[in-house]
Structure 1
Amino acid sequence: MKDYPIEIDDYLSGNMSTSEKEAFETRLLTDIELSKELKLQKDMQKIYEDQKWLEEDKEILKTEKAVKLKSFFESNEAKSLKSTIDEVISENRATSTDKTFWFMGIAASIAVLITVSLFVFKDTNYDELYASYVHLDEIPSLVTRGEDTNKMLEDAQLLFEEQKYQKATELFTTYHQKEKSIDPLSYIYNGISYVELNKFDEALSQFQLLGDSNTLQAKKANWYKALIYLKQEDKNKLKEILQIIVSDSDNYKYQNAKELLAKID
Structure 2
Amino acid sequence: MKDYPIEIDDYLSGAMSASEKQAFEERLRTDSALAEELKLQKEMLTMYEDQQWLEGDRDALKTKEAKQLQSFFESDEATSLKSTINQVITENRSGSKHKTFWFIGIAASIAVLLTVSLFVFKENNYDELYASYVHMDEIPSLVTRGEDTNKLLENAQLLFEDKKYQEATESFAAYHKAEEAIDPLSYIYNGMAYTELNKFDEALSQFELLANSETLQAKKANWYKALVYLKQKKKRKLTDVLKSIIADKNNYKYQEAQELLEKID
- Is the shorter-chain TM-score for this pair beyond 0.5, marking a shared fold? yes
Q: Does 1:154 align with 2:161?
A: no
Q: For residue 21 of structure 1, what is the aligned residue in structure 2?
A: 21
Q: Could you tell me which amino acid in structure 2 is paired with residue 72 of structure 1? A: S
Name which of structure 1's ranges 239-248 and 124-133 shifts more when overlaid on structure 2: 124-133
Deviation for aligned residue 1:195: 0.9
Partner letter of residue 162 of structure 1?
A: D
How many residues align? The count is 252
Shift of the 262–6 alpha-carbon distance from structure 1 to 2, 3 Å rule, reads: same
Instruction: Tell me what 1:186 maps to.
Output: 186
In 1, Cα distance between equivalents of 2:159 and 2:119: 42
- State whether residues 47 and 112 of structure 2, in contact with CA within 8 Å, keep that contact through their aligned partners in structure 1: no
> Which secondary structure does the structure 2 equivalent of 1:220 belong to?
helix
Superposed, 1:109-148 pairs within 5 Å as 109-112=108-111, 114-115=113-114, 123-124=122-123, 125-148=125-148
Gaps of 5+ in 2: 56-60
- In the TM superposition, residue 56 of structure 1 has moved relative to its aligned partner by 4.3
Match of 2:73 in 1: 66
CA contact (8 A) 1:208 1:221 kept: yes
Note closer, same or farther for the CA distance 1:70–1:116 as it changes in structure 2 (3 Å cut): closer
Task: Give 1:198-213 correspondences, 5 Å limit.
Answer: 198-213=198-213
- What percent of counterpart residues are identical? 58
Cα gap change, 1:261/1:92 in structure 2, threshold over 3 Å: closer, same or farther?
farther
Other-structure match for 1:8: 8
Normalised to the residue count of structure 1, the TM-score between the two structures is 0.80
* Counterparts in 2 of 1:185 and 1:32: CA distance versus 1, 3 Å: farther
Question: In structure 2, what is the Cα distance between the partners aligned to 1:102 and 1:56?
Answer: 21
User: Any conservation in 2 of the 1:92–1:105 contact (CA below 8 Å)?
Assistant: no
Distance 2:3 2:87 in 1: 25
Aligned to 1:55: 51
Task: Report deviation, 1:129.
Answer: 1.2
CA contact (8 A) 2:47 2:53 kept: no
Q: Is contact 1:89-1:106 (8 Å) kept?
A: no
2:106 aligned with 1:107: yes
Q: Which runs of 5+ in 1 are unaligned?
A: none
Taking the aligned partners of 2:232 and 2:78, their CA distance within structure 1 comes to: 20
Supply the RMSD in Å over aligned alpha carbons: 3.2
1:217 maps to which residue? 217
> Does the 8 Å CA contact 2:130/2:230 hold for their aligned counterparts?
yes
Change (3 A) 1:120 1:186: closer
Deviations 1:56-97 (A, max 9, x none): 4447898321122433327xxx74x87677777877818xxx
Question: After superposition, what is the alpha-carbon deviation per residue over 1:202-236, rounded to whole angstroms, capped at 9, x for unaligned?
Answer: 11110001111111111110010011111111111
Relative to structure 1, the CA distance from residue 182 to residue 56 in structure 2 (aligned partners, 3 Å threshold; closer, same or farther) is same
- Residue 195 in structure 1 maps to residue 203 in structure 2: no
